[in-house]
Structure 1
Amino acid sequence: MEKTYYAPASIGNFSVGFDTLGLALSPVNGELLGDRLAIATAAKHSTKSKLVVAGRYRHQLPTKSQDNLVLRCWTAFRRLVAKPLPELNFTLQKELPVGSGLGSSACSVVVTCYGLNHFFAEPLTTMELLNLMAEIEGGVSGSVHLDNVAPAFLGGMQLMTPSLDEPALKLPWFSHWSVVVSYPGTVINTAMARQVLPATIALPTTVRAAKNLASFVSGLYTENEALALNALEDTIAEPYRQPLIPKLASLREQAHRLGIHHLGISGAGPTLFALCTDDEQARQAQQLFENHYHTNADAMTHHCRVDLSGARLLVSEEAPNAIS
């Protein structure tokens, strides 16, 4: 028996919500922008689970399979379930670049933990699964935060809350909004990107950030598009991370001249995202990124809408013909 699972890429922070907002992504052309994982029961007498890594960005992953997040998730899942489980064969189709700001590690964690739970008839509750994902992802990024895990798992635009019973809340979204995400082909390590942030932030800055986040969320709920758009300003992370992305200022200036409403850093970067309110803006943003932000063959740009489904079992028409 073999089943294939999928988890989407995501934008963490969404400029206005440091460690608080995350958006799951679905390319408008129908492609799958995220990680796929095939799980199958190993041969009866197998004594060790095996992992095969494929996909466009497989060259960015550790060469030793035991260092891969899939097997680390499998070990943690077995420990938490605490009952005998058979050995498995995994095939990971790695379609997200590592250190890109698109939730690459969260995507691998989510697709594995979700897939394992589904494969074994859901021994873990949703909250147990979410906590497991958060713990493993926190070990990669340097701190526990759900702004990539929650949207990759649950779909949509997710707001992180302090509630232990409901740590993430799905927000409304303007149906005509889309985002263009562009990865230049270079890498920024998430843990290192967090190290450039100051240990304390001035009170006026935090107050401004709180006002912006509150205004953005209120704009979504009240369908006040102007309020939501005008609130998109990163006062927490961008001032310190902008030196890591030297082209940000010039690209933002060009985007504004084109009438594009917002251009920000996706997660810790270097991926940038442009929030667009119509297809013409999206076309221009995609052209701008492809002409001025791509640096090597690993680069990619995608026009996306919100992925409302999150992690899921792939049905036959969604799954690629081959995972190799």
Structure 2
Amino acid sequence: MTQYYYAPASTGNFSVGFDLLGAAFEPVNGQLLGDVLEIRAECAQSHLSLSGRYHHQLPTDTDHNLILRCYQLFQQRLGKELPGLELHLHKELPVGSGLGSSACSIVVACYAFNHYFGEPLSKPDLLQLMAEAEGGVSGSVHYDNVAPSYLGGLQLMLPGSSRLSRALPWFDHWRVVLCYPGTTLSTKAAREAIPPQLPLATCIDFAAGLSRFISAMYVQDEAEALAALQDVVAEPARALLMPELPALRQALTGLGVAHLGISGAGPTVFALCSSEQIAEQAAAYLAAHYEKNQDAMTHICRLAPQGARTLKDPTQCS
């Protein structure tokens, strides 16, 4: 019997936490914004087929798809060969969008394989495997997309800790508008735009902003949390890659948007709104002024409290 698995989109960095903060999001209308993987049957040799809105952005040679690569890594981690699987991926996140597309495929694959074979890997071990697989795509191992896509919520990365990440509090009334313009940015290229060394003053500002934000979230001081959302690491370095950002920020601030940031490496932007009404206005503006082609999309989202999971209703991934 076919089993269905899902992992949601994610926003890495979340402005103030380069490589250390990430959030999973879901549209308020109940639509799935992420990847769905079907495990249809066991077979002699693993095979992957593709569908979904953005499957045309994936390589036509599915032998090199991340899903099958993850199956190889999963077997290597277990230290044994497993049966072949007939797999089908519904690709519902655009590639190179800043929405954790590669991380989403990696998470749904690793989660699905671990569930299907009786969960031989613990949560920390599985998350470590996901991050290593993601590092093979982006060029470095980081958790700020795989952790929220796997675990849900707003996740703070904990380098050096056995926990790897911890969920932070959130404001339930916050809405986040995600707008993907339909163009792509290479994650590797976006990371290369950031200098390998930063001035001490910038490092101090980064640490201060992240500390201020985390503290504000724990004591539920909304004004303080919003004031702390300043990107002093990635956005200044990537300004030339996203020249429309200042004009968008000015217009959306005028509509009452609390913060506009780059989702991951971009080009998707996220508009943090304090009400549904402001989110609707922001979504309308971004759809009219930032969407570029038929691949573009804009969604009003809430924080996704649950990350990777099984789906009981296969019609959700149609």
Into which bin does the TM-score normalised by the smaller protein fall? over 0.9
Amino acid at match of 1:175: D
The match for 2:22 is 22
Taking the TM superposition and a 5 Å limit, the aligned residue runs for 1:167-206 are: 167-206=164-203
3-state SS in 2 of match to 1:9: strand
The match for 1:98 is 95
Q: 1:284 to 1:322 in 2, by over 3 A?
A: closer
Preserved contact between residue 41 and residue 86 of structure 1 (Cα < 8 Å): no
Matched, 1:293 2:290: yes
Matched, 1:107 2:113: no
The match for 1:320 is 315
RMSD (Å), alpha carbons: 1.0
Matched, 1:135 2:132: yes
Name stretches of at least 5 consecutive residues in structure 2 with no aligned partner: none
Matched, 1:9 2:6: no
3-state SS in 2 of match to 1:320: helix
3-state SS in 1 of match to 2:315: coil
Counterparts of 2:288 and 2:270 in 1: how far apart (Å)?
Answer: 15
Amino acid at match of 1:11: T
3-state SS in 1 of match to 2:176: strand
The match for 2:213 is 216
Number of equivalenced pairs: 318
Preserved contact between residue 4 and residue 39 of structure 1 (Cα < 8 Å): yes
Name stretches of at least 5 consecutive residues in structure 1 with no aligned partner: none
Matched, 1:63 2:47: no
- Give the superposition deviation at 1:322: 6.3
3-state SS in 2 of match to 1:112: helix
- Give the superposition deviation at 1:164: 3.2
Counterparts of 2:244 and 2:33 in 1: how far apart (Å)?
Answer: 24
- Give the superposition deviation at 1:320: 2.1
Counterparts of 1:113 and 1:302 in 2: how far apart (Å)?
Answer: 26
- Give the superposition deviation at 1:40: 2.3
Counterparts of 1:111 and 1:217 in 2: how far apart (Å)?
Answer: 28
Taking the TM superposition and a 5 Å limit, the aligned residue runs for 1:224-263 are: 224-263=221-260
Report which stretch shifted further, 79-88 or 90-99: 79-88
The match for 2:160 is 163
The match for 2:147 is 150
> What is the TM-score of this pair, normalised by structure 1?
0.96
Report which stretch shifted further, 93-102 or 236-245: 236-245
Amino acid at match of 2:114: N
Q: 1:30 to 1:262 in 2, by over 3 A?
A: same
> What is the TM-score of this pair, normalised by structure 2?
0.98
- Give the superposition deviation at 1:240: 1.1
Report which stretch shifted further, 83-92 or 226-235: 83-92
- Give the superposition deviation at 1:321: 6.2
Residues 132-184 of structure 1, C-alpha deviations (whole Å, 9 max, x = no match) = 10110001011100000000000000000123311100000001011000000
Q: 1:174 to 1:141 in 2, by over 3 A?
A: same
Counterparts of 2:186 and 2:81 in 1: how far apart (Å)?
Answer: 36
The match for 1:85 is 82
Amino acid at match of 2:160: S
Counterparts of 2:133 and 2:114 in 1: how far apart (Å)?
Answer: 15
Where in structure 1 do 4 or more consecutive aligned residues deviate above 6 Å? none
The match for 2:279 is 282
3-state SS in 2 of match to 1:136: helix
Counterparts of 1:302 and 1:162 in 2: how far apart (Å)?
Answer: 31
Counterparts of 1:311 and 1:216 in 2: how far apart (Å)?
Answer: 26
